[in-house]
Structure 1
Amino acid sequence: MHFGFSRKKTECDFICILLHPMLLSPLPSFEQDFILPVIRNQNFPYLFLHEETSWERAIYENQDLNIVKKMAEFINNNYMEKLSLADIAAAGAVGQSKCCKLFARFFFQTPTMYLTQHRLTKSMELLLNTDLPVIEIALSVGFGSASYYTETFRKWIGKTPSEFRKEGKFHSQ
């Protein structure tokens, strides 16, 4: 725990947020919604890594980070297709075992869980912003059937897609 004083010699709070660079790339909306407002606000001090400094360059050059970034981008760009673990691993030019280890290290989940989470996120956007039927949404985000989609949605979100849509429309009024 740290203790500090302001210029007026009164107690102050410290907030430290450490963001892994991987968080910025897979979801452009994350960067736009959360990172850019902080970076553009002169009242928030932050450290921007520069490639000229050796320890900072090492972060940029981390091969595992580059590999997992390629695999995450592959999922983000192809989630609507039928994807296997082999497909995801091939996107990073690694074996399936290394693929799983990298996802566990950087995302604290399996590649399949990452894919499912991404599909569900995309489906929630469609549920709230369109009037497409649930089956059409399920198929458009890569689920094989509406029943599997509904089962997965309920397991992860705690309600059916229809209930989620209804609640979302109710709260937006």
Structure 2
Amino acid sequence: MQIKNFKVDQSLKELTSHRTVVMPVACYETEIAHNINGKIPLHWHEEIQFVLIKKGEAMFQINEEKRMVSEGDGIFINSGCLHLAEDVSGDCIYICLNVSPHFMLPQELFTSNIYPYIQATNLPYIYMNAYDQWGKNILDSMIKIKSLIQHKPPFYEVDISSQLTFIWQQLIMNGFQLEYDRTEVEKNRRMKEMLNWIHLHYVEKVPLNDIARAGQLSSSECCRYFKRILKTTPISYLINYRIQKSLILLQDPESNVTEVAFKVGFNSTSYFISKFRKSMDITPSAYKKERQAK
């Protein structure tokens, strides 16, 4: 099922429930352009994620790194990593498999065969090339899991569990050298704290000093964090976040542009319109009319 209104909490943790009725597993097909934001916005979740590009091409950012993923290939995104996805080809469709790390293998094997990998700071993602046999095996298993969830044949839950075990085996058999860098862990924590503060206070006046204080950083170091990790400034991120929040409000038939502008933290309608047009390539009023026509 396509998730069009992508919901996250103040810390950017995704609120979507990634599970079937009985299992902490979700597998669905997503067309990036159909998301309310026109992309998959920055977020994170405890589940590990496997993505298979079914059509087109997408750019994924995972923590500080960006990686293009081509049609037929895929990417593994580790637990707790900030990530987003943007449609590069204009028609990108991908299959997404989200699984609780605790469900990948029997609990007795979690400590030795799962935990070290989801804690490793040098494995925010792994590219899965369909030309590599192990990568192809994982991608094929994803398709099987999607079919099992869709058709629910007898004992399909057992089959899914078997496929997940096989996927994890294929992933870790490559012998990755695992690293644990406390500095990276702390950096990730500080970044989430600053984002959380912005998301709690975006409708207010937001001074740079307050954002920095949330991450226990100086203003200059705060700016370096945003530039290095998110490739933007704290204030630019704030403005973009306000615009993303305005998209939902603009779809309300009773709303108007001025009201929406003030509700999401802009103190000038003209400034809101200018920033909205720059970000979305359309004015707020035109966006509102376009959405109501659908």
Q: Structure 2-normalised TM-score?
A: 0.43
Task: Give the deviation of 1:103 after TM superposition.
Answer: 0.8
DSSP-derived class of the 2:247 partner: helix
| 2:222 equivalent to 1:99 | yes
Q: CA, structure 1 residues 15+130, in 2 after alignment: closer, same or farther (shift >3 Å)?
A: same
Which runs of 5 or more residues in structure 2 are unaligned? 1-71, 85-93, 105-112, 122-178
The structure carrying a bigger strand percent of its residues is 2
Cα distance, 1:106–1:145 mapped onto 2, change above 3 Å: same
Root-mean-square deviation (CA, aligned residues, Å) is 3.1
Task: Provide closer, same or farther for how the CA distance between residues 95 and 159 of structure 1 changes in structure 2, counting only shifts above 3 A.
Answer: same
Q: Report how far residue 16 of structure 1 moved.
A: 2.2
Q: Counterpart of 2:166?
A: none
CA contact (8 A) 2:223 2:234 kept: yes
Percentage identity across paired residues of the two chains: 32
Q: In the alignment, is residue 50 of structure 1 matched against residue 115 of structure 2?
A: yes
2:254 maps to 131
SS, match of residue 39 in structure 1: strand
Gapped regions of structure 1 (runs ≥ 5) = 1-12, 25-33
Residue 116 in 1 paired to residue 239 in 2? yes
2:58 aligns with none
Q: Which has the higher helix share?
A: 1
2:212 alignment partner AA: A
- Kindly state the Cα deviation for residue 40 of structure 1 after the two structures are TM-superposed: 4.4
What is residue 83 of structure 2 aligned with on the other side? 23
Ranges of 4+ aligned residues in structure 1 off by more than 4 Å: 51-54
Between the aligned partners of 2:205 and 2:215, the Cα distance in structure 1 is 17
Answer yes or no: is the 8 Å Cα contact 2:198–2:211 preserved in 1: yes
User: In structure 1, what is the equivalent of residue 210 of structure 2?
Assistant: 87
* Cross-structure match for 2:98: 39
Structure 1 residue 54: Cα displacement: 6.4
- 1:141 aligned residue (255, 264, 285): 264
Taking a change above 3 Å as real, the CA distance of residues 130 and 38 of structure 1, as seen in their structure-2 partners, is: farther
Tell me the CA shift for residue 49 of structure 1.
6.1
Following superposition, the deviation at residue 76 of structure 1 comes to 1.0
Can you list the C-alpha shifts for 1:25-57, whole angstroms capped at 9, x where unaligned?
xxxxxxxxx99x52149xxx9xx9626876358
- The residue type paired with residue 256 of structure 2 is P
**1:70 Cα deviation (Å)?**
0.2
Q: Distance in 1 between matches of 2:119 and 2:252?
A: 46
- Cα distance in 1, alignment partners of residues 236 and 198 from structure 2: 11
